[in-house]
Chains A and B, each alone.
Chain A
Amino acid sequence: MSKFRKKKKGIPAVNTAALPDIVFMLLFFFMVTTTMRETNLVIENPRLPSATEIKKLEDKSLVSTIYVGKSKDPNRDGVGYNKIQLNDKISTADQVPAFIFSKRDKLAEAMHPFMTTSIKADKESNVGTIIDIRLKLRDVNALKVNYSSTAPGN
């Protein structure tokens, strides 16, 4: 009847045209949620030690994280696994009190004692660096500390 020969197709029982739409929605969801990390690591991803007596950090909003490890750019920052990263840049232990105060300002007064500091340090870092951080935390009364570790077998 028309100039174009209509190819004879069987009528599909289930209309699967919407399937890619659903899958794309799921895909975009995952693409968006994977970028929810607060800080970009200026240091290489610390290899966490493994431990069995670990506790999960319950409330993410009460956690401030200090990263310790090797810088991604040794020419600028120096070698060694002892670079401390606060927020988004390499800092020294002396800047830890200011970091804790800035995190505290975002919380209600009553929640201050429940704040936890998570230290994510590479397993080859020196204990001296960790001790420096710990002393500064003690000075500002940030007494709840969690040394990030992986469960054994991970």
Chain B
Amino acid sequence: MARRENPEINAGSMADIAFLLLIFFLVTTTMNVDSGVSKKLSEKPPPDYVPPVIKEKNIFEVNINRNNDLLVENEPMEIKDIKDAALKFIDNGGGVGKPAEDGTPGKPCDYCQGERSDASSDHPNKAIISVQSDRGTEYGVYIQVQNELLRAYSELRNRLCKQRYNMSFDELEESYRDAKKSADSKDLASQLKLKVEDIKKAYPQIISDAEPTS
């Protein structure tokens, strides 16, 4: 007859120890941050590249010096004011836009709500924001500046998307991503893609990194 083993070790506290260790590992697991500010770099220009002539009013200059001070269009400015200044510049709509790919001449911006001054940009698709930093500038400040510029674009895109499609641009992009993932909404995905492309074309993100000083 098999002798029933009398449990000499009380197994109740083993569970407690195991829970403690488990909670320790849960707490100390570091999740690698895998999100960030995305950028598409421009292609390397060929050696004989001649940069196109651009009117000065279509360029919004942001300079950051070694001390992390900002100079926007030759005037000192705080980081928190960049977004509004950039927004005004992009949305100005003082002239006509770039001609379309099929050759039709550029049209004036009919969705801009800016001042339409002659001293600022002609059209959002001609508005170039140029960021020039010093080699010694802090990376954190550089990212903050890029973030504020992207916030300006994001605000304009959200506003236009609400006018045209009755939802914010963030919502539109999210529903496009979800539609892309699921296999049974291909039509919806392509419809949403057209809308997303439309808004992106209306306010294209043209942020150029200029050659650094020193």
Within 8 Å by CB of B25, from A6, A30, A126, lies: A30
A137 to B6 Cα, complex, angstroms = 69
Q: Is B171 part of the contact surface with A, judged by Cβ < 8 Å?
A: no
CB under 8 Å from chain A, chain B span 11-59:
11-12, 14-15, 18-19, 21-22, 25-26, 28-29, 32-44
Q: Is the CB of B138 within 8 A of A123?
A: yes
Q: Is the CB of B18 within 8 A of A51?
A: no
Q: Is the CB of B36 within 8 A of A118?
A: yes
A127 to B144 Cα, complex, angstroms = 12
A131: shortest Cβ distance to chain B, in Å? Answer: 6
Take A52-B147, A53-B150, A139-B44 as given contacts and tell me if A149 and B37 are in contact as well, using a CB distance cutoff of 8 Å.
yes
A143 to B19 Cα, complex, angstroms = 47
Q: Is A54 part of the contact surface with B, judged by Cβ < 8 Å?
A: yes
Q: Is the CB of A126 within 8 A of B43?
A: no
A129: shortest Cβ distance to chain B, in Å? Answer: 8
Q: Is the CB of A148 within 8 A of B43?
A: no
Instruction: Please give me the residue from chain B that is nearest to A68 by CB atom.
Output: B139
B42 contacts across to A, CB distance below 8 A: 138, 143
Q: Is B130 part of the contact surface with A, judged by Cβ < 8 Å?
A: no
Instruction: Please give me the residue from chain A that is nearest to B134 by CB atom.
Output: A127
Q: Is the CB of B19 within 8 A of A53?
A: no
A121 to B138 Cα, complex, angstroms = 11
Q: Is the CB of B34 within 8 A of A53?
A: no
A152 to B144 Cα, complex, angstroms = 11
CB under 8 Å from chain B, chain A span 8-48:
16-17, 19-20, 23-24, 26-27, 30-31, 33-34, 37, 48
Q: A33-B29, A149-B147 known; 13 other A-B pairs, CB under 8 Å?
A: A23-B15, A26-B22, A34-B25, A49-B143, A123-B143, A124-B140, A127-B135, A127-B136, A128-B212, A138-B41, A147-B39, A147-B143, A149-B33
Give 17 A-B contacts (CB < 8 Å), ordered by A residue.
A20-B14, A20-B15, A23-B19, A27-B18, A31-B25, A34-B28, A51-B37, A53-B151, A118-B36, A127-B134, A127-B142, A134-B209, A144-B40, A145-B39, A145-B40, A148-B35, A149-B143
